[in-house]
Amino acid sequence: MMGAIVLLHRWLGIAFCLLFAMWFASGIVMHFVPFPSLTEAERFAGLAPLDRTQVRIAVVEAVAASEIADATRVRLARRSDGPVYIVSGPSRARAVRASDGRDASVTSPDGALAIARDHARERGLDAARAAIVARSDYDQWSVPNGLDRHRPLFRVALGDAAGTEVYVSSLTGEVILDTTRSERGWNLAGSVLHWIYPTVLRSNWALWDRVVWTLSLLASIAALLGAVLGFVRIRRRGWLIGSPYRGWHALHHLIGLAATVFVLTWIFSGWLSMDHGRLFSRGQLSPAEASVTNAAPDWTAASSLDRQPISSSAREVEWFAFIGTIYRRDRVDLGRQTLIRAGDASRDGQTGVLSAREVQELTTRLATGCGAPSILANDDDYPAQSAVSGAPVYRSRCGDLWFDIDGADGNVLQRLDASRRAYRWSYSALHTLDFPVLMARPRLRDVLIVGLCALGLVFSVTGIAVGWRRLRSAFAI
C-alpha cells in the first residue's frame, strides 16, 4: 500500500510540480491585478447626460419595437448617434432608437469607433488616435460567458499612453469591457496562467471546464498523497522533527510539512472553484423562482411614469419590473438616484431605493416562511454589494433559504441555501482568505496571501528540483 502511494505521489508530483509553481506565483499576481472588466464606476463615468429633446417614443413603444416578448428591463442612454433604449429580458437584449424605434445595433466600424470615442471623452481619456482593431466573437480578454449576448464585439484601441482598449457591443452599442496595457501584461502572468485561460480553450466553456476540473482534481490527489507520506516519514530527534532525506528532498519534505495545511486547503478549494454544481448548489434561482423575478410586466403601465420629468443631469434612466410593478430609476451620479413606482408618479412618491416592505413582497412570492428583510452590514459572513454605491442590500431569510436583493434595482444578487453557504466557506474563504476578520484588515490579508503563496512557491520549486533529479536518474538524462 505504501509503495503504491509513493509511486503515485512521485509521478503525479513530477507531472504537476510546474503547475503547482505556476498556480502559486500567478495567485500572487491575481490578488493585486484582477481579470479585466468594466467596473460600474467606469461604465457610468462613460455615460453622457441625456438629451430628452431627442426622445420621441415612450418606453412602451420601445418594448414593442424591440420584439422582445419577455422584456423585464429597459434603459435609456445617450450614444454618439442619439439616445437609445436598451431593452433586455432573460432571452436576449436589443437596442432601439429613441427617436423612431428603429433597430440601433452597431454594424459599422465607424459607428463603434464614434461610441468608443464618446465613452473615452466622458471618462477623461485621450481618444484622439482611437482606431478599430478587430471585430470578432472572442479574444483573450472577452472570453467570459457574461459577454455572450453582446457578440460579435468591436475592439477599439484608444491610442492613449495607458494603451487602453475598449469593447463595443454590436447588439446594444454599449461599451462593455476595457483593458489597459498594464492589465493585459499582468494578467498574462496572472489570471491567464492561473485559470489555464488561453482563448482557444476558454472559448469552448464545456471543454475548458472538464480540462481544468480534471487537472485540479489530480493535483489535489498529488498533494494529499504527499501529506500522507510527509507525516509517515517524519523522524524525531528529541524535541525536533527531522527528515530521513538529504538535500532538495529533505527541503521538500520539511517545507512541505510546514506548508501542508495551506497547500492542501488551497489546492482543494481551487478545485472547488470549478465545481459548477457538481457537489454544491450553484446559487441560481430555481425555474419557479425565476418565473417570479423574470415575469414580464404590462408595459402600458409605464405611461404613468412619463408625467414625472427626468432630471436634466440624469445620465441613465431605467425602467424595471419588480413584483409585477414597473419602477423608473433616474441615475444622476454613481451613488445617487431617484426611484418612482408606477401608479405613484408624483414628487411625493420619489425615493432613492426600494423599501424593506417592497422587498418582502418579492420574497414572500419566492418562498414561504420569510422573515422581515434586514440590511446587510459590510462585515457580513456572506457578502453582497449593490451596483449603486451606498445603496442597501436586503437579506430575507426564508427558513434555510436566504435571498439577497439589491435595494437600488431589485436584482436578486444571491440565493443562499445551506449548500451554497457551505460552498462559500469551502471555496472562497479557504482560497482567497476573505474571512470577515481579515477583510476588515486588508493589509494583514495581503501579507498573509503573499506570504503563504510564496511559501507554496518555494515548496513547489523544491518539488521541481526533486522531480528533475528523479527524471535524470530514471532516463539517464
Instruction: Give the model's confidence band at 91: pLDDT under 50 very low, under 70 low, under 90 confident, else very high.
Output: confident
Query: CA 263 from chain center: how many Å?
Result: 25
Q: Check whether residue 28 and residue 131 sit in a common domain.
A: no
Please tell me whether residues 166 and 59 are part of one structural domain. Answer: yes
Q: Which of 277, 450, 253, 290 is nearest to 366 (CA)?
A: 290
Structurally, the chain folds into a number of domains equal to: 3
Q: What is the CA radius of gyration of the chain?
A: 26
Q: Is the dihedral of CA 406, 410, 411, 417 positive or negative?
A: positive
- Long-range CB contacts (< 8 A, 24+ apart) of 140-148? 140/184, 140/192, 140/197, 140/198, 140/199, 141/35, 141/36, 141/167, 141/177, 141/179, 141/184, 141/187, 142/167, 142/177, 143/197, 143/199, 143/202, 143/203, 144/35, 145/205, 147/176, 147/177
Find the domain containing 225 and state its range.
Answer: 2-33+196-280+438-475
Residue 476 pLDDT greater than 80, yes or no: no
Residues 349 and 341: beta-carbon distance below 8 Å: yes
In-domain check, residue 464: yes
Q: Tell me, what's the pLDDT at 474?
A: 76
| 322 neighbors 295 (Cβ within 8 angstroms) | no
Check pLDDT > 80 for residue 239: no
Phi, psi of 155 (to 5 degrees): -105, 125
Does the pLDDT of residue 346 top 60, yes or no?
A: no
| Whole-angstrom distance, CA of residue 467 vs CA of residue 248 | 10
| Interval 159-200: pLDDT, tens | 999 999 999 999 999 999 999 999 999 999 999 999 999 999
Tell the residue number behind the cell numbers 431569510, with chain if given: 397
Q: What is the pTM of this model?
A: 0.93
Does residue 346 form part of some domain? Answer: no
What's the pLDDT tens digit per position in 4-28? 998 899 999 999 999 999 999 999 9
Q: What span, in angstroms and rounded, lies between the C-alpha atoms of 271 and 437?
A: 24
Joined grid coordinates for residue 298 = 404590462
pLDDT tier at 322, thresholds 50, 70, 90: very high
126, part of any domain: yes
- 292 part of a folded domain: no
Domain finish residue from 145, 177, 193: 193
Residue 454 within a domain = yes
Q: Are residues 14 and 48 in the same domain?
A: no
Q: What are the residues facing 154 on neighbouring strands?
A: 135, 168
Which three three-digit cell numbers place residue 467?
Answer: 522531480
107 shares a domain with 49:
yes
Same domain for 159 and 242?
no
Cα–Cα dist 239/301, whole Å: 79
pLDDT at 473 over 80: yes
Give the number of residues written for the chain. 477
Question: According to the model, what pLDDT value does residue 345 have?
Answer: 53
Statement to judge: residues 169 and 48 lie in one domain = yes
Residue-level pLDDT at 220: 97
Q: In angstroms, rounded to a whole number, what is the distance separating the alpha carbons of residues 55 and 112?
A: 21
Same-domain check for residues 260 and 165: no
* 9 in a structural domain: yes
pLDDT for 51 beyond 90: no
Short-list 445, 430, 448, 464, CA closest to 255: 464
Q: Are residues 45 and 187 in the same domain?
A: yes
Residue 332: inside a domain: no
Are residues 159 and 165 in contact, defined by beta-carbon separation less than 8 angstroms? no
Assigned domain for 286 exists: no
Domain co-membership, 78 together with 137: yes
Same domain, 448 and 373: no
Q: Are residues 139 and 50 in the same domain?
A: yes
Q: CA-based diameter of the chain, in Å?
A: 87
| Band of residue 439 on the pLDDT scale cut at 50, 70, 90 | very high
**Same domain, yes or no: 185 and 83:** yes
